[in-house]
Amino acid sequence: MTYQFVPQYVKDITPYPPGKPIEEVERELGIKNSVKIASNENPLGTSPRAIRAIQKALRTLNRYPDGSAFYLKKTLSAIHRMPPESFIIGNGSNELIELIIRTFIQPGGEAVISDPSFLIYSITVKAAGGKSAVVRLRDDYSYDIKAIIGAITRRTRLIFISNPNNPTGTIINKKDYAWLLRKLPPHVIVVDDAAYREFVRSSDYPDGIDYLRDTNRNLIVLRTFSKLYGLAGLRIGYGVTTTELAGYIERVRQPFNVNTLAQTAALAALGDSVFVKKTLANNQAGLDYLYGALERLNIPFLRTQANFFLVRVAPFLSARQAFEALLKHGVIVRDMTSYGLSDFIRINVGTPAENRKFIREFSAILKTKL
Ligand X SMILES: *Cc1c(COP(=O)(O)O)cnc(C)c1O
Distance CA 318, CA 178 (A): 38
CB closest to ligand X, residue no: 92
Q: Among candidates 292, 361, 283, which has minimal Cα distance to 33?
A: 361
In the complex with ligand X, the residue whose CB is nearer, 40 or 242, is 40
> Would you count residue 118 as binding ligand X (CB under 6 A)?
yes
Estimate the crossing angle of helix 319-328 against helix 352-369, to 10 degrees. 120
With respect to ligand X, which residue has the nearer C-beta, 223 or 357?
Answer: 223
> Total binding residues for ligand X by CB under 6 A?
14
Q: Per rule CB under 6 A, is residue 237 in the interface with ligand X? A: yes
Single-letter residue type at 273: S
Range 299-318, binding ligand X (CB under 6 A): none
Does residue 93 belong to the site contacting ligand X (CB under 6 A)? yes
CA separation for the pair 131, 133 (Å, rounded): 7
- Whether the CB-CB separation of 303 and 309 falls below 8 Å is answered with yes
Residue 40 or 156 with smaller CB distance to ligand X: 40
Question: Taking CB under 6 A as the rule, does residue 162 contact ligand X?
Answer: yes
- Among residues 34, 40, 47, 279, which is the contact residue for ligand X, using CB under 6 A? 40
Task: Name residue 337's amino acid.
Answer: T
> Rounded CA gap, 123 and 284, in Å?
32
**Which of 38, 57, 195, 228 forms a contact with ligand X (CB under 6 A)?**
195
Asked if 208 is part of the footprint of ligand X (rule: CB under 6 A), the reply reads no
* Cβ 92 to ligand X shortest distance, Å: 3
62 half-sphere exposure, CB direction, 13 A CA radius:
1
Q: Which is nearer to ligand X, 40 or 264 (CB)?
A: 40
**Dist CA 64 CA 282 (whole Å):** 37
Q: By CB under 6 A, tell whether 92 contacts ligand X.
A: yes
CA 150 to chain CA centroid, nearest Å: 25
166 binds ligand X (CB under 6 A): yes
Beta strands 87-90 and 308-312 are: unpaired
Contact mark string toward ligand X, 240..279, x via CB under 6 A: ----------------------------------------
Q: Please list, in sequence order, all residues whose beta carbon lies within 8 angstroms of the beta carbon of residue 123, skipping any fewer than 6 positions away.
A: 13, 14, 15, 16
Residue ranges binding ligand X (CB under 6 A):
40, 92-94, 118, 162, 166, 193, 195, 224, 226-227, 232, 237
